[in-house]
Chain A
């Protein structure tokens, strides 16, 4: 087995596009769940808003890619308002039900045959990254090569901008959370009625949080499709599993912690690639008999192993990597 190759695959994924757009979406989810206590199970829906907002404005309306990003963000803001207005006055679980359904509805609507001329139906949309790639600065033309890992020039530009956005997002979250606004957010998470009794408008703050976290979800979707070069309304791209992977990444890092979603996404992507390539090589080198698993089954097997790993984490470090065990103990009260 070539351990050097396994580790370079793992590190490449840990710093690659999946980790980057997971981090963006997970920052949003952390604002929703970690700081406000909103159960958003439809982060993939916000990603759809961002991805399709970008692709449609470029392909259909010939707009600049930066305007496309703004369109995607606006679309996700509207989506957040639509979800929030009826549900945020109700108990937390209603938002969970509505978001999980709305995200799937949105995905099924954009793949409708009758919208083929607009959203591309089940084929999705291609060829909207040219303008974005034209804007690539010269120093990335040769791609990024760190010796043991390397990224192509196209990928480098997405990664460069994406990771900068992640850092800005973390900084932005820091400023907000360490402010009186952030304090109200956390108070609403702990007990809405207590916040109301002290004169805080819980509904309004929850709405602001839902919109803000949704914008990060949209950014995740935007950078995802910029890296992929196409938008496709498939379950593995924008379905419910995607939402749950983002949840996993956030919980892995530590819910309600500033760097939790970023580190969680990096580790999630790295581990997934590590188990995948390690298994593949083990199977190829006959360390694992073909009668147990073959090369085709590795794809499923890596998720089983990842799931086992998560179970172990939840048993020995339930607060996540960055979490504070004291906080978890308080939940018992």
Chain B
């Protein structure tokens, strides 16, 4: 199973500044292992963020993104106590969702 994400959000007025760290190998499909075999493609292809169940951020990503990627974005109309959940899905069908409650 995939390792948890690290989500941080700071509220400034009604804008939440979100930063998320994901644990993922993000293999490009072009790297070879020690015995010379190609390491198969393995990358996150979509990221979704929801605020209280409503989608506020969507991204399609490729293998060009680094290993253990970091994403930062701002969400308008957020307030303390709101639930922010982030989900990623990769090309092998692995999924991971983590949720935080926005602080005061």
Asked if A pairs with B, the answer is: no
